[in-house]
Amino acid sequence: MAALKYDVFQAISDPTRREILRLLSTKKRAISEIASQFPVSRTAIAKHLHVLSEASLVSGEKIGREKIYQLQPEPLTEIKQWLAYYEQFWTNKLSILKHVVENDDE
């Protein structure tokens, strides 16, 4: 509702929303089609889709009486970039050792 109330980190923090993204990664789907895959109500799924939409991870297009949602993976680059900073601490032993030594010095 309010502009950017949900960022991409919050959007992917919910397991149901991650599963919705997974479903949309194979094809566009209408709300009811998505909801049929979950044990919760259609309304609950519609709310999750709204959250994902605010984070720009999905886009919805109304076609006839259906609203078709589609994956928009671009915002995930923000997660990727955030993660890149921490990769130095585990991708090779040298970095990890460097990290430990620096900590012990202070």
Partner DNA sequence: ACTATATAACACCAATCGGTTTCATGTCAA
Partner DNA sequence: TTGACATGAAACCGATTGGTGTTATATAGT
Q: Of residues 26-45, which lie at the interface with a second copy (CB under 8 A)? A: 26-28
Q: What are phi and psi of 90, to 5 degrees?
A: -140, -10
- Strands across the sheet with 66-71, in order? 29-30, 66-71, 58-63
> How many residues make contact with DNA (CB under 7 A)?
27
Q: Give the one entry of a second copy, DNA, none that residue 55 binds, where binding means its C-beta sits below a cut-off of 5 to 8 angstroms depending on kind.
A: none
* CA terminus-to-terminus distance, the chain: 46
User: Which span sits near a second copy by CB under 8 A: 14-22, 41-49, 59-67?
Assistant: 14-22
Residues 6+ apart with CB under 8 A from 46: 31, 35
User: Does 48 help bind DNA (rule: CB under 7 A)?
Assistant: yes
28 binds DNA (CB under 7 A): no
In whole angstroms, what is the distance from residue 48 CA to residue 31 CA?
Answer: 10
Instruction: Give the footprint of a second copy on this chain (CB under 8 A).
Output: 9-10, 12-13, 15, 18, 21-22, 25-28, 70-71, 73-74, 76-77, 79-80, 82-83, 85-87, 89-90, 99, 102-103, 106
